[in-house]
Amino acid sequence: MMATRSVTLVDALSTRGDASTARATRVAAVLFFAVFTAAAAQISIPLPFTQVPFTFQPTVVLLGGLMLGARLGAASQFLYLAAGIAGLPVFAASLSLPPGALRLLGPTGGYLMAYPLAAFLVGALAQRGFDRRYATSVLAMVLGLAVIYACGALWLSRTFAGGAAAGLTAAVMTGIAPFLLADLVKLAAAAGIVPGLWRLLGAEPRAPQR
């Protein structure tokens, strides 16, 4: 059976007014998550054994998709990347990684370029009702995190010598393994936000649509 579209949290908030208020709410939500992603990048911890810093960005990206839906979630991340390409200081501060648009061509470029894809996927699942319950919110965000990790590791593997297999193994060990547990803990904490907001709005949890 084809899935039917569910209302996302930003949809519910934007309908509490006239058409111009609804548009303003959606624009503000996109801008908020673009800025939130940039702010999360500033809390970065460089690690001596990898070129990938520890940041809170993946959690913010996935949370944005869950709240905004597919189209707006992806738009917030395209806006974030556009700001970085334009030279604004929105990427994680680093003495070794290239600045501005060149950051997308550097070793962490795969993670950054995966942000719109991950937000779109999580948002699409939110539009199927995955954002109404904690367990399905966790599932949606885990799948989005897998997209970020897969794209990031594949891109990072280009920087390792010794053949494609060796490069991918090294990329997984330095670009995924050190961050997996911490990202899952952050994700588990953040996944309760949207279902909690739905309860505050008085919406009944619904099973995901199939």
Give domain status of residue 193, yes or no. Answer: yes
The CA distance from 166 to 182, in Å, is 25
Residue 204, Cβ neighbours under 10 Å: how many?
Answer: 7
Contacts of 30 by beta carbon, 8 Å cutoff, 6+ apart: 68, 72, 75, 76, 79
Give domain status of residue 20, yes or no. Answer: yes
For tokens 């913010």, what's the residue? 60
The residues that bridge with 45 in the sheet, in sequence order, are: 54
CA angle centred on 194, ends 153 and 148, rounded to 5°? 5
Give domain status of residue 210, yes or no. Answer: no
The CA distance from 103 to 157, in Å, is 16
Give domain status of residue 104, yes or no. Answer: yes
The pairs formed by 158-163 with CB atoms below 8 angstroms and a separation of 24 or more are 159/51, 159/107
pLDDT tens for residues 119-155? 999 999 999 999 999 999 999 999 999 999 999 999 9
**95 or 65, which is more confident?**
65
Residue 43 phi, psi dihedral angles, 5° rounding: -95, 80
Instruction: Report the number of distinct structural domains present in the chain.
Output: 1
pLDDT above 70 (res 163): no
Percent of the chain whose predicted confidence (pLDDT) is above 70? 90
Q: Which domain holds residue 113?
A: 9-200
CA angle centred on 120, ends 183 and 190, rounded to 5°? 35
Residue 20 sits in a domain of what CATH number? 1.10.1760.20
Give domain status of residue 206, yes or no. Answer: no
**17 or 19, which is more confident?**
19
Q: Is the pTM of this model over 0.85?
A: yes
Give domain status of residue 205, yes or no. Answer: no
pLDDT band at 56 (very low <50, low <70, confident <90, very high): very high
| Torsion, Cα of 9, 13, 19, 20 (10° steps) | -110
Q: What is the DSSP letter of 51?
A: S
The CA distance from 178 to 4, in Å, is 38
Q: What is the mean pLDDT of residues 68-97?
A: 94
The CA distance from 159 to 27, in Å, is 38
Q: Is 163 left (phi over 0), alpha (psi -120 to 50) or beta?
A: left
